Amino acid sequence: MNMIKPILQIGDPILSLETKKVADFKSPELKQLVADLIDTADSKRAITAGLAAPQIGSQMSVCICRRVDLEKDTTAQLSKEALWEVVINPEIVKQSKSTSIFWEACMSVGVGKNALFGPVERPNTVTVKYQDRDGKLRSISARGFFAHELQHEIDHLSGILFLKYISNPKNIWKRDAIDKYYDEFETYPPIE
């Protein structure tokens, strides 16, 4: 049975722990976790680009990432299964020296108008080696926002939240404030 799970919030100790690698790809626990991650993320499709197992209380090395790269390339609506890439036991095997900055948020860092946003600098391109839900080895290369998204979710599996990368608290904005700024200026605030 699939379920929409509550999202753990910053301060919960599970969010700061390293996850454990998945070894049994036939386990009912893994199948249930993947279904729960997809259902939970899909229920918040308007505000999320991914979800990691620790965010719903699991210590398995599993996350899902929204295929924003495919959404841009198709006029057809992606199915729930095609929209969310299941990434198990991921490892970043290549990353560019060039970086980019995107404003990130996280469902585990505030809710609704109190959700926090901030500018995060990361490698602009990455290649990630991982296993799919059947245990098959796969590789994916990403650039720009999709690369940031993959790195953000993989960070969760190491107990890292995006706020770690923001040294100046003046660059952390609440959702209602950032939305108001963006509506007025059609850009994000300058980084201090």
Tokens of 37: 């991650």
Q: Do the domain assignments include residue 4?
A: no
Is 2 part of a structural domain of the chain?
no
Residue 192 inside a domain? The answer is: no
Specify if 119 maps to a domain: yes
**Cα–Cα distance measured from residue 4 to residue 36, given in angstroms and rounded to the nearest whole number:** 6
Residue 171 CA: distances (Å) to CA of 3, 99, 168, 177, 188: 35, 18, 6, 12, 11
Give me the CATH number covering residue 177: 3.90.45.10
Give tens-digit pLDDT for 83-129. 999 999 999 999 999 999 999 999 999 999 999 999 999 999 999 99
Domain count, the chain: 1
In a domain, 3, yes or no: no
Q: Does 1 fall in a domain?
A: no
List, for the chain, all residue ranges whose pLDDT scores fall below the cut of 70.
Answer: 1-2, 73-76
Q: Is the residue at 117 inside a domain?
A: yes
Q: Is there a domain that residue 191 lies in?
A: no
Instruction: Give the side-chain half-sphere CA count within 13 A for 84.
Output: 26
pLDDT of 1 reads 64
Domain that holds residue 26: 13-185
**Active-site residues: which are they?**
153
